[in-house]
Chain A
Amino acid sequence: NAGVTQTPKFQVLKTGQSMTLQCAQDMNHNSMYWYRQDPGMGLRLIYYSASEGTTDKGEVPNGYNVSRLNKREFSLRLESAAPSQTSVYFCASSEVLGTGPQPQHFGDGTRLSIL
């Protein structure tokens, strides 16, 4: 009963290093999302994927890239990490992107620190 699995759970990077955060869901959901959570700001959408093969920018996409590898997996890449990207990152999934009451299901988050 895994739901949404994120790896790693913690990571420390140096400025300029690259890193890929992995996310996989086993609920056969079509849509997947990446958020970042900063103190006092709630969660903000970085990128989302409505379905396999599509990705779109969210509210704060600068400095990130994503790949929807298949229906299960959605990765987030930092090409050249900056201290401003220190945050907790959440992956989420939902049945569909559009209308309907289906909630998003979240992973446990990745705490990323960039020195």
Chain B
Amino acid sequence: AQTVTQSQPEMSVQEAETVTLSCTYDTSESDYYLFWYKQPPSRQMILVIRQEAYKQQNATENRFSVNFQKAAKSFSLKISDSQLGDAAMYFCAYRSYGKLTFGQGTILTVHP
């Protein structure tokens, strides 16, 4: 079974600074997808960024980028120029054959 591990229960960053959230996963499959979801206090699950395992190029969405290391089974999220609105719980998720497996989440606090 696939497992996803987020080893940082909490992280904090100053506004306008950069922060990196860690995620590792365990799988024997070669074709899969990885996602980062953001969950603000409103409880909505908002897709932040996605990465196809067969693509070597790291995905980027505006201030959000990933460092995907397939051999190391690592998928970290970098948030640049952090904003107060980035404060939320962040979940890393692995998907194969449609079913998502989530990590435990990292609470990100942004200090003004």
Q: Which residues of A contact B (CB under 8 A)?
A: 31, 33, 40-45, 48, 50, 58, 88, 90, 92, 94, 96-101, 103-104, 106, 108-109
Residue from A40, A43, A88, A96 within 8 A of B98 (CB atoms):
A96
B interface bracket (residues with beta carbon within 8 Å of A) = 20 to 34
Residue from A42, A50, A104, A108 within 8 A of B43 (CB atoms):
A108
Cβ contacts under 8 Å, B103 to chain A? 42
Whether the pair B97, A98 counts as a contact (CB closer than 8 A) is yes
In Å, the complex CA distance between A100 and B33 comes to: 8
- The binding surface of chain A is classed by DSSP as loop
Given contacts A97-B99, A101-B50, 5 further A-B pairs with CB under 8 A are A33-B99, A42-B105, A96-B98, A103-B35, A103-B47
In Å, the complex CA distance between A97 and B42 comes to: 27
Whether the pair B98, A41 counts as a contact (CB closer than 8 A) is no
Whether the pair B97, A99 counts as a contact (CB closer than 8 A) is yes
In Å, the complex CA distance between A11 and B101 comes to: 26
Is B75 part of the binding interface, using a Cβ–Cβ cutoff of 8 Å? Answer: no
Top 3 closest A-B pairs, CB basis? A97-B98, A106-B45, A42-B102
- CB pairs A–B below 8 angstroms (21 shown): A33-B99, A33-B100, A40-B104, A42-B91, A43-B102, A44-B102, A45-B99, A45-B101, A48-B99, A88-B43, A90-B45, A94-B98, A97-B97, A98-B98, A101-B33, A101-B52, A103-B50, A104-B100, A106-B44, A108-B44, A109-B44
In Å, the complex CA distance between A101 and B54 comes to: 11
Is B31 part of the binding interface, using a Cβ–Cβ cutoff of 8 Å? Answer: yes
Whether the pair A42, B104 counts as a contact (CB closer than 8 A) is yes
Q: Which B residue sits closest to A56, measured CB to CB?
A: B99
Interface string of B38-59 (1 = CB under 8 A from A): 0000111101001010000000
Residue from the set B33, B91, B100 with the largest chain A CB neighbour count within 10 Å: B100
In Å, the complex CA distance between A97 and B98 comes to: 4
